[in-house]
A and B are shown apart, each in its own frame.
Chain A
Amino acid sequence: MKAKVYVTIKQNVLDPQGNAVQGALHTLGFGEVGKVRIGKYLELELDTNDRAQAEEKLKVMCEKLLANTVVEDYRFELEG
């Protein structure tokens, strides 16, 4: 089974990288670009077929390590 994990910066937390990219896109002429937020994307291969258990464990992985829930949100998708 494969998991796709998305870690994003909380809406109330400043994202200076996103702001810099927004500025760069404006410089390139993409004036339609509003707010830009940069996050992380992780692909995990899981050695299991038990979907419910995989979801449960992924939640723990995200809470413990993959995301810092003080400043980040996370979500994940399971495939296969």
Chain B
Amino acid sequence: MKFAVLVFPGSNCDIDCYKAVEDTVGQSVDYVFHTATDLSAYDAILVPGGFSYGDYLRCGAIAQFAPVMTEVRKAAEAGKFILGICNGFQILTEAGLLPGALIRNNSLKFRCHQVDLVVENATTAFTNAYKQGQVIDIPIAHGEGSYFVDDETLASLKANNQIVFRYAGDNPNGSVENIAGVCNEAGNVVGMMPHPERAVKDILGSDDGVKMFKSVLNAFVTQAKSGAVNGAGAR
């Protein structure tokens, strides 16, 4: 399985993502620059945290038009696995690949600490190794992570089981219904404010993020097997 970690000017969690892939699932991983125009070689695309383009105008607003994003859209449509973390989540919402928007924390403070998350949907490409309702310990680090959706979109998120994570304890940022992460309707694109790539070893405070990477490997293997079966059937 091949992973791409996107790198925008101002990304700063790209190395963490790269190392997390190496350390958790040991699969092939490349840094891919924002100017890239071909992602066809990759099975999973990680959009890392940071402050792409200095967060000018709005978080993710400029990054959504980087050349590589055309390829990310294609990959999303093709059912490839895409995970946006923190600024990566903001970029995916700005790009319209995920519903809603991330606005300023209601406290106006940059919140940087561990949080408990409830896994609300354990069927996505990135959460299938968790149990439904499991509480996991993952850090957050953001100033603009308050998730907003209008009532109509919220109802459709619930109807389609698109709420992936909720904050279990105090709501750290004012997110609607304590939402910490969502997915698209197909479940192959996931976005979240917390940082699973910073929770892959006990010495980091938690290794509860490991299963996100195991999950996507599971999803890939399952997809490859069903592809092989279909291929055999066609012959």
Contact = CB atoms under 8 A, between A and B. Distances in A.
A12 interface: yes
B94 to A, nearest CB: 7
Contacts of A66: 57
A46 to B, nearest CB: 18
A22 to B, nearest CB: 13
A70 B100 contact: yes
Given A70-B148, A71-B101, A16 B106 contact: yes
Contacts of A9: 103
B67 to A, nearest CB: 16
B191 to A, nearest CB: 14
B65 A71 contact: no
Contacts, number: 36
Interface in B64-116: 65, 93-94, 100-101, 103-108
Nearest to B101: A70
Interface string B31-70: 0000000000000000000000000011001100100000
Given A70-B148, A71-B148, A16 B61 contact: no
Contacts of B65: 65
Interface string A3-37: 00000010011101100100000000000000000
B148 A16 contact: no
- Per DSSP, chain B at the interface is loop
Contacts of B150: 12, 70
Interface in B99-154: 100-101, 103-108, 146, 148-150
B104 A68 contact: no
B139 to A, nearest CB: 22
Contacts of B148: 13-14, 70-71
A68 B107 contact: no
Interface string A50-71: 0000000000000001101011
A38 B11 CA distance: 27
A16 B174 contact: yes
A17 B143 CA distance: 12
B61 A65 contact: yes
Given A9-B103, A16-B174, 16 more contacts: A12-B150, A13-B103, A14-B106, A14-B174, A16-B104, A16-B105, A16-B107, A17-B104, A20-B108, A65-B57, A68-B58, A68-B94, A68-B101, A70-B93, A70-B101, A71-B101
27 contacts: A9-B103, A12-B150, A13-B148, A14-B103, A14-B106, A14-B146, A14-B148, A14-B174, A16-B105, A16-B106, A16-B174, A17-B104, A20-B108, A65-B57, A65-B61, A65-B62, A65-B65, A66-B57, A68-B58, A68-B61, A68-B94, A68-B101, A70-B100, A70-B101, A70-B149, A70-B150, A71-B148
